[in-house]
Structure 1
């Protein structure tokens, strides 16, 4: 770590002699008071130290990591750092862990108290009823600490990723500190930790594909797998910020990983709850839904204005295929996978058969529903690009979100109020009608929207030559 100049710089800024001395004195006195003057001192010390670690290292650390890059931009030091010889990986972990050093220093004192309490205090004082011992502690102290630390690092990495997204928004005139990570972390982080407080007697085996795993070990392994992918995402964003091309296969590999991971959860016993669908069709339906969701998420996350698209076409026309592949928008990759899973889903449904019923027991036309949803997806992509290709792309995303809200929520609600649900296929995927009526309206909208988008492109940027 001492060879990473970014980490070393943050170390000298964050860990001052005053903080080194004051932190253990303050927290030592605080925990002393809890232990000797609080009711049920051992239990109170265990819970308080754990929640103090989550508060300081988890929530506060996520806030610090989110604003690490924005602070550098505000202090006008980031442009100089981009010109240094520090490689993207060193810059990634130097900023991710360097910006949160003090939160870790504060939190590790609390984590140490938590571990010492588990080691020194008899279980009968901590858990008077043995069957109420937490699932998190059912396999020993080390796995429990790995779980807590992994969750905290994951939230910090997500905070850093959110901060980089805000810093890379070139349409924003000013870069300001944000508390988005706190807004998301306040309900999510305690919920994740509290889920591990369930009594051991409630523990259930996790079934994934045809294998059975211990609940705690499965979720611990899943946590670190997704943590690795999150840090990989931070690294990819840092490469982009430092003007280093990202390999085109990383995003594809992540989407395929999520697809394979999620499809392992539906089991044959769940077919009834999925309304009669074939076992493998139900799995593909879940995977398709995830790919559609990822397409929308990355549309909101990644800006694809005319400059980006022109650069992609220029690289392609120059026969710089490798560079062009690196510039392909991630929403395009996700939408291609959505189309592939949709095609596989419908083909498998046609081959294996089965029914798809709604909660009222009415049959849903799966073919029309999926095809209509994909047409609406293509319309929404064209709508967003249409606004990005305008003279003022700064408000493109907000404008598109307003249109989506009106089309998907407001108008269908109004139709329901006036008993005109027959027009729902014009605005929502509807499997209760025949295939033609379900698909024709969104298909027509997609064609017209793409025609308008291409026309606007030609007006602003010239002919669309590939």
Structure 2
């Protein structure tokens, strides 16, 4: 895969990098920087350049990355592009880089001003602990945010029944959040605070500077994000794609969750519980990103019945892979918890979990099993919504359902003195095993009946030969 000057990339360059725009941006940017210097000093110039970098690369960049696709959809040219001879890779990087070309041009103008101000200030360490590391965090955060925004836009496109309009606010928001997480704007890169000491992260019990860890992880996640955009573009262009990339990504995230912690010496438990939590989160995200089309699922089941395992594997939902990974992680967590007492827990981990009331040491194994049952219920509710008339609103409805069940209702019950009945809405096992498991099992049985009925209605009789 090479970065050849394909027509999509050239078209975006012609649209966004005309000489009028480039000259205007340079003149306006340098004029603003010089005006700030005249009324203040290089500290203010540095601060202004940092603010412009954040706004241009972190806020405007993700919007432009998503808009590179949304403009095609709104203009009615996306279908003709899909029928063109461009490969998925050319289409992906042509939109990702070409669509954001003017953003990067403006960002590099601000970066030049910032580096010049840093040179006059003696390259202050800033709040990343190192001047150049802070710059790298901003740049790698921008790359990741743009790729994430385009990926989210492609996911939204897969779930849009009609192509007439593609909202990009969600994609921009996801990209901006990722930019903040990686670049640490506000906690890095450029304020001149010589007394600031970067935080410490422990990677398999070895201490490293947290900004350095963010830089390494951000670089790796950029590769994953670009691969995800390429894979989603292939899917949009009707290529058959097997779920190996998603499976590898879940394994990568499990490795990170097991090895990175804010405290050392977590041991087997300190590795098992974060892996379990990470697999649940990824499963929820995969279910939310999936089209959840019952006809599509029926096609995969029919392919499996015919023995066409290649097609069945290509049709396999990502959330199903997440469920398998979560069950493996749960087995790992239960094994780790079974051989440890409350006195052997890392003190930091114990304090955090107890303060959040996420679990009790007396019934930790039961709580982990309850979490699996609650996850099955939540995914069942999402499928039930998706198989009915609320399909177009199923994502938002499900998120509202999760927010109501897991936050206000549980908190109200705790403060109202009904903590003994908390297992109705939260997976926290108590002394009574029957009462801990009965509510969720009843919910699963009722939901299973309703889901089966919806499935037969949506597929007109289920899977038939």
Q: TM-score, normalised by structure 1?
A: 0.87
Tell me the CA shift for residue 364 of structure 1: 3.9
More displaced 10-residue stretch of structure 1: 391-400 or 250-259: 391-400
**Aligned equivalent of 2:30, options 23, 28, 31:** 28
Calculate the aligned-residue CA RMSD, in Å: 2.7
Cα contact 1:346–1:367 (8 A) shared by 2: yes
Change in 2 beyond 3 A, CA 1:158/1:201: same
Could you say which residue in structure 1 is the equivalent of 2:40?
A: 39
After TM superposition, give the deviation of residue 405 of structure 1 in Å: 4.3
Equivalent in the alignment of 2:324:
336
Q: Structure 1 unaligned runs (5+)?
A: 128-132, 272-278
Q: State whether residues 287 and 319 of structure 2, in contact with CA within 8 Å, keep that contact through their aligned partners in structure 1.
A: yes
Query: Which residue is equivalent to 1:274?
Result: none
2:396 corresponds to: 398
Question: How far apart are the structure 2 equivalents of 1:84 and 1:187?
Answer: 34
Distance in 1 separating the partners of 2:333 and 2:309? 31
Q: How much has 1:387 moved relative to structure 2? A: 2.2
Deviations 1:133-170 (A, max 9, x none): 325462x63x4433221111111112212222222223
For each residue in 1:41-69, what CA deviation from the matched residue of structure 2 results, as whole angstroms up to 9, or x when unmatched? Answer: x2222222232122123211111112221
1:252 and 2:247 equivalent?
yes
SS at match of 2:429: coil
Q: Which structure 2 residues correspond to residues 380-419 of structure 1 after superposition, within 5 A?
A: 380-409=378-407, 411-413=409-411, 415-416=413-414, 418-419=416-417
User: Superposition pairs for residues 342-381 of structure 1, below 5 Å?
Assistant: 342-354=330-342, 358-359=354-355, 363-381=361-379
Change (3 A) 1:108 1:362: closer
Quick one: distance in 1 between partners of 2:128 and 2:399? 41
Q: Secondary structure at the match of 1:206?
A: strand
- Determine the structure 2 residue equivalent to 1:167: 157
1:217 maps to 212
Can you list the C-alpha shifts for 1:280-331, whole angstroms capped at 9, x where unaligned? 1232111101111222222222221212211211221232212211221111
Calculate the TM-score normalised by the size of structure 2: 0.87
Other-structure match for 2:315: 327
Q: Counterpart in 2 of 1:113?
A: 113
182-191 vs 400-409, which deviates more? 182-191
1:248–1:301 distance in 2 versus 1, CA, 3 Å: closer
- Which residue of 282, 300, 306 maps to 1:312? 300
Distance 1:400 1:28 in 2: 48
Cα deviation for residue 173 of structure 1 reads: 7.0
User: Residue 201 of structure 2 contacts residue 207 of structure 2 at CA under 8 Å; is this kept in 1?
Assistant: yes
Aligned twin of 2:223: 228
Aligned to 2:290: 302
CA–CA distance in structure 2, aligned partners of residues 153 and 165 of structure 1 = 19
Q: Is the 8 A contact 1:147 1:220 kept in 2?
A: yes
Aligned equivalents of 1:170, 1:69: Cα separation in 2: 13
Q: In 2, Cα distance between the equivalents of 1:187 and 1:236?
A: 22
* Partner Cα separation in structure 1 for residue 410 and residue 134 of structure 2: 48
Which position in structure 2 is the counterpart of 1:130? none
Q: CA separation of 1:410/1:464 partners in 2, compared to 1, >3 Å: closer, same or farther?
A: farther
Distance (whole Å) between structure 1 residues aligned to residue 65 and residue 164 of structure 2: 19
Aligned residue for 1:33, secondary structure, equals helix
Query: Would the aligned equivalents of 2:128 and 2:198 in 1 still touch at CA under 8 Å?
Result: no
Give SS of 2:148's match. Answer: helix
Partner-residue secondary structure (3-state), 2:202 = strand
Question: CA offset at residue 436 of structure 1?
Answer: 3.5
Shift of 1:83: 0.9
* Residue equivalent to 2:72: 72
The equivalent of 1:151 in structure 2 is 141
More divergent stretch after superposition (383-392 vs 335-344): 383-392
After superposition, what is the alpha-carbon deviation per residue over 1:223-256, rounded to whole angstroms, capped at 9, x for unaligned? 1011111222212211111111223211011111
Q: Are the counterparts in 1 of residues 74 and 163 from structure 2 also a CA contact under 8 Å?
A: no
Question: In 2, Cα distance between the equivalents of 1:382 and 1:111?
Answer: 49
**Structure 1 residues 174, 362: CA separation in 2 closer, same or farther (over 3 Å shift)?**
same
2:260 paired with 1:265? yes
1:445 alignment partner in structure 2: 443
